[in-house]
């Protein structure tokens, strides 16, 4: 099959890019500067759960599977794009009712993309950090029941920052579903035809998560 088009769903990492405030933001230092040193080289210091990243089951203490232990073939699958921007407002839960129109697409190799519009709001603001729409516990149980492969959202936390966050993570990760957070999903064309998603994390030994490059590919029919 030939590639028709590709979309990069990855947010940029940069110096002091916004993260959950309990983490230090990414820090970019210049080791060598081209015109001065003849080489250009940078050093990036960050939490492995910064920017566009993936969570492994071991992100929750009671689960033991690390990201580098997941077979690489599980990092790809059929994209199921669920556009919720303009439908869900600040701090709104994403519920089973929001997923019901897509139930037939929730097959075992599906990767669910929850587009809330929060990727475009990325900033050091109360709204972006604390008021994102989030996947609630009941919707997480529905996705676990359908045994989807992965779930992604355009905010740093699939469960937001409120009371349901920990249990939403526990439901998904405890079901062997990997989570990708901090994507850029404002691509209306993802609703047009079939898309294949590939999310490749940096391979870090025994990691609970890692930054990832996430792309969607549409093949010629």
* pLDDT score for 61: 87
**Position 88 confidence tier, pLDDT thresholds 50, 70, 90:** very high
* pLDDT score for 212: 98
Q: How many CB atoms lie within 10 A of CB 130?
A: 15
Average pLDDT of the residues in 42-65: 96
Residues 119, 136: Cα–Cα separation, whole Å: 19
Residues 167, 75: Cα–Cα separation, whole Å: 23
φ, ψ of residue 53 in degrees (nearest 5) = -150, 170
Q: How many CA atoms lie within 13 A of 106 on its CB side?
A: 21
Q: How many CB atoms lie within 10 A of CB 137?
A: 18
| Residue 221 reports pLDDT greater than 90 | no
* pLDDT score for 15: 97
* pLDDT score for 1: 81
* pLDDT score for 213: 98
CATH class of 3-11+48-219: alpha beta
Tell me the angle at which helices 165-174 and 137-145 cross, rounded to the nearest 10 degrees: 10
**Position 162 confidence tier, pLDDT thresholds 50, 70, 90:** very high
E strand map for 84-208 = 93-94, 110-115, 134-135, 150-153, 178-181, 196-201
Average pLDDT of the residues in 168-181: 97
Average pLDDT of the residues in 49-61: 96
Q: Which helix (H) or strand (E) holds 144?
A: helix 137-145
As a whole number, the mean pLDDT across the chain is 97
- At 90-147, the pLDDT tens digits run 999 999 999 999 999 999 999 999 999 999 999 999 999 999 999 999 999 999 999 9
Nearest in space to 194 (alpha carbons), one of 216, 177, 214, 175: 216
Average pLDDT of the residues in 168-175: 97
């Amino acid at each position: 099959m030939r590639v028709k088009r590709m979309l990069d769903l990855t947010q940029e990492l940069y110096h002091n890019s916004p993260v959950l405030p309990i983490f230090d933001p990414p820090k970019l230092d210049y080791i060598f500067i081209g015109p001065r040193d003849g080489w250009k080289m940078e050093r990036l210091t960050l939490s492995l759960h910064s920017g566009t990243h993936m969570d492994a089951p071991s992100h929750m203490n009671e689960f033991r599977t690390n990201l580098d232990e997941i077979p690489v073939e599980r990092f790809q699958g059929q994209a199921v794009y669920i556009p919720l921007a303009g439908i869900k407002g600040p701090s709104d839960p994403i519920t089973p009712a929001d997923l019901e129109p897509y139930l037939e697409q929730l097959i075992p190799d599906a990767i669910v993309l929850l587009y809330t519009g929060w990727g475009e709001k990325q900033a050091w603001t109360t709204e972006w950090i604390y008021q994102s729409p989030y996947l609630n516990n009941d919707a997480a149980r529905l996705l676990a029941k359908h045994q989807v492969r992965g779930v992604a959202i355009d905010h740093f936390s699939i469960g937001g920052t409120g009371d349901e966050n920990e249990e939403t993570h526990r439901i998904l990760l405890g079901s062997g579903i990997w989570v990708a957070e901090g994507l850029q999903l404002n691509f209306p064309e993802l609703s047009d035809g079939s898309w294949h998603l590939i999310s490749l994390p940096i391979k870090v030994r025994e990691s609970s998560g890692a930054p990832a490059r996430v792309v969607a590919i549409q093949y010629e029919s």
